[in-house]
Chain A
Amino acid sequence: MFAGLGDADAALLVRALRPRTLADAEVLFRQGDPGDTMVIVATGVLGVQVRRLDGGEAPVAVVSEGEVVGEMACVDPYARTATVVAKGRTVVYELRRDALEALRTVAPAVASAVVGAVIRDVTKRLRDVNGTIEAELGGGSAVPSVHGGVRGAPPTAPPSSGPEAQRAGGAFRRLVDKLRGLG
């Protein structure tokens, strides 16, 4: 869908994004804080970690250049389900919920492309969840395990750590390529 965005629309999207530079170990989101912003990694890497029952932090994923985190909260604000922290100096673009709302009026094709990408990511994750359940319904005694079974995250992650702790990726790739193309 992003491939179909014209340069003028892509430029409007770029104007709606806010660049931000994070120092090494700087926290972008903290688990439990209210969230309404999605973040695209321009350069560098973000680490995703969730609190363990014993109070420690367990790494569950990394978000690399060109990948997106927090996009569901941008569409539907929610408490952050994981803590996201810069691993080394990292440059990100932020899209706040109010900026996405504004795009619906000034650049509906752009807003629709962003929401469409979120839907594709969510669809993929719902399928993953569904595959786990299918295995459970058909397979007898296997314990349904969202983290261990679907995404391969360490078993230390509590099951309720939520969807944003992992990256489905993919749907936003073309958007990011497009942004890079604009320099």
Chain B
Amino acid sequence: MNGGALRALPSLGGYPDAELDLLASVAQEVSIPAGGLLCREGTTGQSCFVIVRGEIDVFKALGAGDRVLATLGPGAMVGQMALVDRAPRSASVRARTPTVALELSREVFERLLGAQSPFALRFQHQIAVAGIRQLRTALDRLGLLSSRRASPAESADEGALALACVQAATEDWDISLEDMENAVIVIPDGQMTGAELAMRRRGR
């Protein structure tokens, strides 16, 4: 894969061509058939993935089975956290369709950062910004979940799913909370889906 194939991905739009070429040369291209796993909940991550083609499901074991928390497409980055932290993966990621991804390992990232590669510095900054935004959103959303307790109408299952969404997002920063349409948040003046919450956040 060359850097040009990455140019079209919105998440990498701010990178100069030379840095995209570097990413394409140091990252491993992986092809996953539909149904194949990119990473598994509970294992320690060693790399992050940039989705180039295809769709992935982010899912988490919850109660008796798995729940899909988000479906993501080309340009999505998953598992960036593994580049800066050694905590276990908070969710699993499965290819929904045949998927091509670039895998960047922590070892390579650390080496580039140590050499002060402009790409690595920019990527590090992007990880920091993603983490900060996830933290801000998670704290806001936890506030909503706290206030929601006043509403007895909601089932325990919905509440657990909403919390699982926040949790997965707080660990895998790049899984945007705002992508999680499944998370229904009940607030004092009614119910909101993740998408509605995202709109409200953008509007303020």
- Are B139 and A160 neighbours in the complex by a CB distance under 8 Å? yes
Q: Does A78 contact B (CB under 8 A)?
A: yes
Using Cβ atoms and an 8 Å threshold, which residues of chain B touch A162? 136, 139-140
- Given A115-B124, A118-B132, A122-B132: A146 and B87 interface contact (C-beta under 8 Å): no
- Are B121 and A112 neighbours in the complex by a CB distance under 8 Å? yes
Q: Does A72 contact B (CB under 8 A)?
A: yes
- The listed residue (B128, B131, B142, B147) touching A132 by CB distance below 8 A is B142
Main secondary structure of the interface of B (DSSP, over half): helix
Q: How far is the CA of A78 from the CA of B204 in the complex (A)?
A: 12
Q: Does B32 contact A (CB under 8 A)?
A: no
Using Cβ atoms and an 8 Å threshold, which residues of chain A touch B147? 159
Main secondary structure of the interface of A (DSSP, over half): helix
- Are A119 and B170 neighbours in the complex by a CB distance under 8 Å? no
Using Cβ atoms and an 8 Å threshold, which residues of chain A touch B164? 133, 137
- Are A144 and B124 neighbours in the complex by a CB distance under 8 Å? no
Q: Does B129 contact A (CB under 8 A)?
A: yes
- The listed residue (B116, B129, B139) touching A109 by CB distance below 8 A is B116
- Are B125 and A123 neighbours in the complex by a CB distance under 8 Å? no
Q: How far is the CA of A132 from the CA of B134 in the complex (A)?
A: 15
Counting from the closest, the 10 A-B pairs by CB-CB distance are A159-B143, A108-B116, A122-B131, A133-B167, A76-B129, A72-B132, A160-B143, A126-B170, A76-B132, A75-B128
22 contacts between A and B (CB under 8 A): A75-B129, A76-B133, A104-B121, A104-B125, A108-B121, A112-B121, A115-B121, A119-B124, A119-B127, A122-B128, A126-B131, A127-B87, A129-B142, A130-B170, A132-B142, A133-B163, A137-B164, A143-B149, A144-B145, A146-B146, A159-B139, A162-B139
Please give the residue numbers on chain A whose beta carbons come within 8 Å of chain B beta carbons, in ascending order: 72, 75-76, 78, 104, 108-109, 111-112, 115-116, 118-120, 122-123, 125-127, 129-130, 132-134, 136-137, 143-146, 158-160, 162-163
